[in-house]
Amino acid sequence: MAHVLVFTEFSQGQLKKSALELLSAARKSGLKIQAVALGSGAKNLVDVLGKEGVDDAILGDDAAFDQYNPELFTEVVSNILNDKKPTVVLASSSTLGRDLFPRVAARLNTGVVSDCTELEISGTGEVKVRRPMYAGKCSAEVAFVNSPVQIVLMRPNQLTIEPSAAVKTPAIEEIKAPVKDLKTIIKEVVKGTSAKLDLSEANIIVSGGRGMKEAANFKLLEELADVLGATVGASRAVVDAGWVPHSMQVGQTGKTVAPTLYIACGISGAIQHLAGMSGSKVIVAINKDPNAPIFQKATYGIVGDALEVVPLLTQEFKKLLQQ
C-alpha cells in the first residue's frame, strides 16, 4: 500500500512549523502517515503527532541525535526507509534536510527533489512537485524516474496548514542510535549572534542594501525586525563590503527566500537579488531612486531615504501591534 513518511524536525519540544506544513500535505493525500522524529524528547511528541493524524511514529529519543551528523543520520534514515518502504518521503528543505536526503537518496538509488514550492500527492502516491530554477527566474515541474521512494524536500512557508480532522493514537516504534566508529565528528557548534529564525524559514524578512549607508545602520533593521518577529537579510553588495556575514545574503549566490512579507530597504534590486526574493507574497521597497528595478517587483513602493523611513515604520508597527 502506498503511504507517506514525514521526517519531522522539532526544537525545544515543539514540532517546527515546517513539520506541521508537511503533515498537513500528507493528510490531504488520504494515505497512511508515518512520522520520524530524532532527538531528545522525541517520545513526548506522540500526542501531538496523533493529533496531526499520524498512524505510526518512529521515535529516536536519543541524545546521540541532538546534533546532526550526516554519517549517522544517513545510516539511520536509510535503514528506516529500507524497512518501511514509503512511496513518498516529505522533509523540510532546511539546512539539515538539504544536507541529509541527497545522500540518503544515493544510498537507496532513488530520486530526491530539493527546494520544492508546490506539492500534490495523489491517493495512489503519485507526486507532482514544482520548484524554482535559476534562483526563481523561472520554475519547473519535476518528475521522478525509476524512484521506488520519492523524496520531496519542501521549502518552508509554501504549504497551507489545514486543521487535522481525526485524532489518532500512533503505533510507536522506538529506535536508538547505532554504536559505531564514525568518520565524521562534530567538534563544536558556535552559535550565531541572532536568536531569530533562519532566512529560509522566516515569515517576514527585513533586508538592507547599500542605501543603509554603513554597517552600523543595520541596527535600524534589527529594531524593525524585532518588532515584527522578522529575520534580517542583506544584498550582495553589503555582504561583499563586509558589513554583514554571507549567511544573511539574499539572492542567486545567497539564499533564495519566499516569505509572506519582504521589506527591501535601500536595495536597488540587481537581477540576482530580484531572482532570490521575487517569490515573496508581499514586497515592500524603500529606495531613494524612483527608477530602481526593485520597484518593478514590489507590491508597495516608497521613494525615500531608508534611514529616515525605517525608524518611522518601526514606531508605526509598534503602535499597531501594541493595540
Partner 1 sequence: MKVFVCIKQVPDTETKIKIKGDASGIDTAGVKWVMNPYDEFAVEEALKLKEAGKATNVTVISVGPKARIVETLRTALAMGADDAIAVDAPEDLDPSTTAKALAATIKAEGDYRLVLTGKLAIDDNAASVSQMLAEHLGVPHSTAVTKLEVSDSSAVSEREIEGGAREVMQLAVPAVIAANKGLNMPRYASLPGIMKAKKKVIKELTLDGLGVSAAETRIHYQNFQMPPEKPPVKMIEGDAATQAQTLVKLLREEAKVI
Residues 42-81 that bind partner 1 (CB under 8 A): 70-71, 74
Q: Does 166 bind partner 1 (CB under 8 A)?
A: no
SS3 37: strand
Which range binds partner 1 by CB under 8 A, 37-45, 50-58, 192-200, 210-218?
192-200
Closest to partner 1 by CB, 10 vs 317, is 317
Nearest distance from C-beta of residue 177 to partner 1, angstroms: 17
Cell of 96: 539539515
Q: Counting contacts by CB under 8 A, is residue 301 touching partner 1?
A: yes
Asked if residue 86 lies in contact with residue 34, where contact means CB atoms within 8 angstroms, the answer is yes
Distance, CA of 163 to CA of 225 (rounded, Å): 29
Q: How far is CA 299 from CA 139, 280, 283, 302, in A?
A: 21, 10, 5, 10
Which of 12, 160, 193, 322 binds partner 1 (CB under 8 A)? It is 193
Q: What is the Cβ-side half-sphere exposure of residue 198, based on CA atoms within 13 angstroms?
A: 19
Q: How far is the CB of 108 from partner 1 (least distance, A)?
A: 10
Of 172, 186, 215, 241, the one binding partner 1 (CB under 8 A) is 186
Range 218-221 contact pairs with CB under 8 angstroms and sequence separation of 24 or more: 218/243, 218/244, 220/306, 220/307, 220/310, 220/311, 220/314, 221/265, 221/310
Q: Kindly report the CA angle at 63 between 57 and 68, in degrees rounded to 5?
A: 85
Report the alpha-carbon distance of residue 160 to residue 229 in Å, rounded: 20
For partner 1, the closer of residues 7 and 295 by Cβ is 295
- Site for partner 1 (CB under 8 A): which residue of 83, 219, 260, 289? 260
At closest approach, how far in Å is the CB of 179 from partner 1?
Answer: 18
x/- mask, partner 1, residues 125-164, rule CB under 8 A, reads: -------xxxxxxxxxxxxxxxx-----------------
Residue in 22, 154, 205, 313 binding partner 1, rule: CB under 8 A: 313
Using CB under 8 A, pick the residue from 163, 189, 216, 291 that binds partner 1.
189
Check binding of 122 to partner 1 (CB under 8 A).
no
Shortest approach of partner 1 to residue 50 CB, angstroms? Answer: 28
Determine if 272 is a binding residue for partner 1 (CB under 8 A).
yes
Q: Closest Cα partner for 276 from 220, 209, 195, 178?
A: 209
Site for partner 1 in 194-253 (CB under 8 A): 194-198, 200-201, 204, 228, 239, 245-249, 252-253
In the complex, what is the shortest distance from the CB of residue 47 to partner 1, in angstroms, rounded to a whole number?
26
CB of residue 115 vs partner 1: minimum separation in angstroms?
A: 6
Distance (Å, rounded) from C-alpha 308 to C-alpha 265? 11
Residue 52 CB, shortest distance to partner 1, in Å, is: 23
- CA atoms of 142 and 128, how far apart (whole Å): 7
Write out the three cell numbers for 53. 493524524
Considering only 172, 215, 241, 282, the residue that binds partner 1 (CB under 8 A) is: 282
| Minimum separation from the CB atom of position 51 to partner 1 (A) | 26
User: CB under 8 A: which stretch of 29-37, 158-166, 172-180, 271-279 binds partner 1?
Assistant: 271-279
- List, as own/partner pairs, every contact residues 290-293 make where C-beta atoms lie below 8 angstroms and the sequence separation is at least 24, other chains included: 292/267, 292/268, 293/268, 293/269
- The whole-angstrom separation of Cα 115 and Cα 135 is 10
Tell me: does residue 187 bind partner 1 (CB under 8 A). Answer: yes
Q: Which one, of 36, 37, 30, 49, lies nearest residue 11 by Cα?
A: 37
